[in-house]
Amino acid sequence: MVDIPSQEGTDDPRPVKVGVLLDQAPDKLTEWLADAAAFDAGGADALWVDCGPDPRLDVPALAAALAVVTYRVRLVVALPDETAAAPGLAGTIDTIVRLSRGRLALIAGPGALEVGVAVFRRVPGEPNAFECADEGERWVAVPVPQGRQSWRETRADVAGRGFTGLVVPADPQLLDMLRNPDDPGDRRDLQLAQG
């Protein structure tokens, strides 16, 4: 969990969880899985997978692979409608839950999925917000921060609006900020590594 600096005039730090939205259509699965493992080791609280309404890849298989290459992050996975309605889904979900040691959660629409795992649903009127009523969590999607000051401001804003977590697209700069939260931000090694 990432600690948010306390608001002025308050001694109470506001914790906000960090979720990383993985690439929607990975071309190189080994690199996609390596990125997921890096964010897991780097301190992210959750990995979010949403391959869109018509994915090229088998989403439950991706979730199972993530369960194997990560060890602590929650895996929040959006199942396409045809997958969510498929016979045998409960057995597939049970297998992934066992592989992940209970870290799986799903993103679903109203009235869908009664498979025994936490379910995130979109918040009505807030297209970028999700809530998990069973867990008392509210998450919001935000863009990749444009530096450490932007990152601090975004986290404080999210906490101030009552969200317990934020979902950020996977990005090397985000990984660096998770790995090195106290770094002042002058990371020339990242600039060299990226070209």
- With CA atoms as reference, report the closest residue to 1 among 164, 184, 190, 175: 164
Would you state the pLDDT for residue 89? 80
Angstrom distance (rounded) from CA 163 to CA 131? 9
Tally of structural domains, the chain = 1
CATH number, domain of 119, equals: 3.20.20
The two structure tokens encoding residue 147: 């530096």
Q: What is the mean pLDDT of each run of 10 residues along the chain (195 residues)?
A: 39 72 90 96 96 85 96 92 69 92 87 73 90 91 92 93 96 93 64 50
Task: Let me know if 176 is exposed, middle or buried by CB neighbors in 10 A (0-12, 13-18, 19+).
Answer: middle
Contact 139, 164 (CB under 8 A): yes
- Kindly provide the b/e burial profile for residues 77-92, where b requires at least 16 CB atoms within 10 angstroms of the residue's own CB: bbbbeebbeeeeeeeb
pLDDT (0 to 100) of residue 11: 35
Range of the domain at 117: 2-194
